[in-house]
Homo-oligomer: A and B are copies of this chain.
């Protein structure tokens, strides 16, 4: 489900076998390179690392920005998938926290999830994208579950949740190499998310911020 390859209704001509392989490898490599060297990494470097001619990159992704977007989409898709999995495996009470941990546990350097989201205004489009919406739905389910279970304060919606996740990524990035400190910073956010006993927050109004 991650990469559409044979879905008959997409209207996209099915790629040749090698082309599909190239595309997949490119995405893989691009993700690695972008997260390691930042989005400023050169297209040529990605091509080299993927052992592909530069022109091949541009055949698959007409623009560097398109490549970035594709990488982001893949990430969002994967996150949505993992969210669904956690919901099923862990149950509503803990799934949200498990999801948080899962995202944050990715090496902070590798975790340019945030960076990718914010960079170059790509996020705007990403939010409206299919993948963005799908992830939004998953997050909604996770959040609802946790709130129903009474373990997360009720005044939060998906937009806040996303922002908090992104911000926490940044925190940990800043504390890279200091695991003890990182642990404490995470505790701060986790405790802040918890439903506060004896202070019933007003419920969320509908429709507010970007997902």
Contacts and interface: CB of A to CB of B under 8 A. Distances in A.
B173 A160 contact: no
Interface stretch (A14-22, A94-102, A184-192): A184-192
A90 to B, nearest CB: 22
Interface of A: 40, 114, 117-118, 153, 155-157, 159-160, 162-164, 166-175, 177-178, 180-181, 184-185, 187-193, 196, 205, 208-210
A210 B173 CA distance: 12
Given A160-B181, A160-B184, 19 more contacts: A114-B170, A117-B174, A118-B173, A118-B174, A156-B184, A157-B181, A159-B178, A160-B175, A166-B170, A166-B174, A167-B167, A167-B168, A167-B174, A189-B189, A189-B192, A190-B192, A191-B191, A191-B192, A191-B196
Instruction: Tell me how many chains of this kind the complex includes.
Output: 4
Contact of A185 (B163, B169, B190, B210): B163
- In order of increasing CB-CB distance, the 4 nearest A-B pairs are A192-B192, A167-B171, A178-B209, A188-B192
Given A170-B170, A188-B189, A181 B163 contact: yes
A171 B164 contact: yes
Nearest to A161: B185
- Among A114, A169, A184: residue with most chain B CB under 10 A: A184
A60 B208 CA distance: 45
A177 B210 CA distance: 9
A205 B180 contact: yes
Contacts of A155: 184, 187
